[in-house]
Amino acid sequence: MMRPLLALAILLAASGCGAALIPSAISIAQLGTTTFSGGSLETVYPQPYSAVVDAVRKAIADLDLKVEVDRPQRGFLYIEASDLTDTSIAIRVKQRTAYLTSVHIRIGSTGDQPYSTALMSRIAGNMKPQDTDPTVKPSPDEPKTPMQAPPPSKQEGEG
């Protein structure tokens, strides 16, 4: 059994496909692990609950989704929203440990993997390294949000 696996690993490495596995492993370690099953997408992030909730709420606001239900509880958040086509979007955020939080997304009654993946990517994009590592401090010139431009610099002669 080991010989076929070893041969496959050598073949992948020789063909260049093995190189693609390394960035994937790095992104999983930084951004969490994801699975799509039964019409729902779930990702577990190595992030504290509050940072993930902030990222979810920001994604909802950025995408201009209409919130129908917003039920926060201790260590758990349930949001039902809809988009411009009245497609229902259910998002559950659950604290697993102090630094592990899961996000569960279901689109409609049967699920929609591409749409769920796009929403999850938006949520992940709203998280910052300092959300994971409390020793990382944001730089003073870092914009407050990824979409916000830095303040304009003053030109000479302006008051």
pLDDT at 91: 98
Average pLDDT over every residue of 10-17: 50
Residue 107 domain-assigned (yes or no):
yes
Question: Does 60 fall in a domain?
Answer: yes
Domain of 88, in residue numbers = 29-129
Return all residues near 149 (Cβ < 8 A) that are at least 6 apart.
Answer: 143
Assess if residue 8 is contained within a domain: no
pLDDT value for 150: 43
In a domain, 50, yes or no: yes
Provide the domain count of the chain.
Answer: 1
Q: Where does the pLDDT of residue 14 fall: very low under 50, low under 70, confident under 90, or very high at 90 and above? A: low
In a domain, 155, yes or no: no
Q: Is residue 33 part of a domain?
A: yes
* pLDDT in the model for residue 33: 82
Structure tokens at 133: 């590592």
Question: ∠ CA 82-88-92 to the nearest 5 degrees?
Answer: 95
DSSP per-residue codes, 99-137? TEEEEEEEETTT--HHHHHHHHHHHHHT--HHHH-TT--
Q: How does pLDDT run across 104-141, given as a tens digit for each residue?
A: 999 999 999 999 999 999 999 998 766 655 555 555 55
Tell me which residue has tokens 């260590």.
75
> How many other C-beta atoms can be found within 10 angstroms of the C-beta atom of residue 90?
17
Whether 3 is in a domain gets the answer no
Does residue 25 have a pLDDT over 60?
Answer: no
Q: DSSP letter for 59, please.
A: H
Residues 31-90: pLDDT tens digits? 578 899 999 999 999 999 999 999 999 999 999 999 999 999 999 999 999 999 999 999
The single-letter DSSP state of residue 159 is -
Strand partners for 71: 78
Residue 9: inside a domain, yes or no?
no
For residue 6 the two structure tokens come to 């070893």
Domain of residue 113, CATH code:
3.30.310.10
